Amino acid sequence: MVYATFLILYFLTGTIIVIKLLVYGMRPTKTLAWMLAIFTIPVGGMLFYLLLGRNRRKNKLFKLKRTDDISTYLKKAESHYDAVTEEEYQEHQKLIRLIIRNCGFAPSAGNKLKLLKNGNATFQAIFESLQKATDFIHLQYYIFEDGELAEGLFELFAQKIKEGVQIRILYDGIGSKSLSKKYIKKLRKAGVEIYSFLPVRFGKFLSSINYRNHRKIIVIDNKIAFTGGINISDKYVTGDPTLGIWHDMHLQLEGPVVHSLQAIFVMDWYLVSNKENILSPLYFTTYKKMGTMTAQTVHSGPDEDFSATQQLYFSLINEAKDYIYIANPYIIPGEAILEALKVAALSGVEVRLLLSDISDSTIVRWCVRSYFEGLMEAGVKIYLFSDGFLHSKTIVVDDTVSSVGTTNLDIRSFEQNYEVNVIIYDDTFAIELKNDFLSDCKQSVQLNYATFVNRSWIEKLKEGMAKVFSPIL
């Protein structure tokens, strides 16, 4: 009797899930795969779906209350932009409009942006800027780890709190799982407000564990900001025994574009803290132009209507006429980006991908390599960087437009993570990023198609098995 009741409940639950799969419009192959898993793997198939399979774009992960204060705040952010005209950036109008429709942030002129390569340069600039803070510091990271950097930040924060500076910190519940309770308690005792984004809790385990906040943002007095691929971890400075030094790219920003990064932090902060005091217009600063660069902020998350970062990469690839250079450690592109890269290369555009030869995950490494043969067959040039672990997430196109941010070229970043990138419409910046990319290519090994295609069947088997897990890596 008990067994029969269980079977009835199981099949009723499975039927409800299948109806949701059909209603919320997953791809046919994905829908079929989940249906087979649910009805052929007892209990496990259903749990696996609840953990990884739900369509958050249709069934929102969060429903952010659009209060009058939030609406006022976002309008205030936009009012600080030094808007550009369509005529100024005619060749990128489709991209600009796409980002505005997806994210609401228009491009702004009058910015000063500085490229920061690797940990030493990045943290030197960050600490120098933090020392100058007079009003507030907002800091958000995917990985925040105990170590020398964390201790240095604590000492600085403790001093700034005494000077009357407000400090708010967000860290991801999974990415920063090693951050000690002792350190967090010490920060709070000093006066720092600190929250975890989607902490792992028993009641919400299935609904939240697969959706992470991968953003890295610092905003200081709304005058200077930082974003990019570098986390708060000593491995960016001293390295680790297995992978060596982590090589990465970060961005220092001054000017109106800072307000959009502040707005992203504020939305995330309000989501986890439910405190509306941060929405005050007092957190904005009016000032003159800081430079000559035009920039636009892109953000995306699993509960938004479209994957803005995926559409950004797709548009940049399709815009390219001469070349497109991409540095990224995790290239698991999905069908749309994969086809766009192949079409660009077959059309005569020089497409180069720069990846790390080593990886922090064996299964991810094999999955990434499973795409190499098809890409090289289409004419894509692939370079493997071996001097440490390359963690940069950059893209540059035709000496005119570039992107630096947190988004990996994989399904997880596109569909499951909260991400942020900055698009820079500036020739000088694009050329600087291109030259740095080409310099790294010279230190890397270019894969040979004829040699790679003859790799052992064991390697091909590993790649094929790893590729099955591409949607969740």
Three-state SS string over the chain comes to CHHHHHHHHHHHHHHHHHHHHHHCCCCHHHHHHHHHHHHHCCCHHHHHHHHHCCCCCCCCCCCCCCCHHHHHHHHHHHHCCCECCHHHHHHHHHHHHHHHHHHCCCCEEEEEEEEEEHHHHHHHHHHHHHHCCCCEEEEEECCECCCHHHHHHHHHHHHHHHCCCEEEEEEECCCCCCCCHHHHHHHHHHCCEEEEECCCCHHHHHHHCCCEECCCEEEECCCEEEEECCCECHHHCCCECCCECEECEEEEEECCCHHHHHHHHHHHHHHHHCCCHHHCHHHCCCCCCCCCEEEEEEEECCCCCCCHHHHHHHHHHHHCCCEEEEECCCCECHHHHHHHHHHHHHCCCEEEEEEECCCCCHHHHHHHHCCHHHHHHCCCEEEEECCCEECCCEEEECCCEEEEECCCCEHHHHHCEEEEEEEEECHHHHHHHHHHHHHHHHCEEECCHHHHHCCCHHHHHHHHHHHCCHHHC
Q: What whole-number distance in Å separates Cα of residue 35 and Cα of residue 112?
A: 51
How many Å separate Cα 385 from the centre of its chain? 21
Q: Which of 268, 398, 426, 436 is catalytic?
A: 398
Give yes or no for a contact between 440 and 361, defined as CB atoms under 8 angstroms apart.
no
Q: Which of 80, 92, 216, 247 is catalytic?
A: 216
* Whether 288 is catalytic: no
Q: Which of 393, 434, 462, 467 is catalytic?
A: 393
Q: Which residue has the tokens 């100058």?
A: 132
* Whether 172 is catalytic: no
* Whether 393 is catalytic: yes
Structure tokens at 388: 């440490």
Q: Which of 92, 138, 172, 221 is catalytic?
A: 221
* Whether 391 is catalytic: yes
Give yes or no for a contact between 341 and 307, defined as CB atoms under 8 angstroms apart.
no
* Whether 460 is catalytic: no
Q: Which of 214, 223, 235, 467 is catalytic?
A: 214
Residue 265's φ and ψ, nearest 5 degrees, are: -60, -45
Q: Which of 391, 434, 462, 467 is catalytic?
A: 391
First to last CA, the chain: 41
* Whether 214 is catalytic: yes
Active site (catalytic) residues: 214, 216, 221, 391, 393, 398
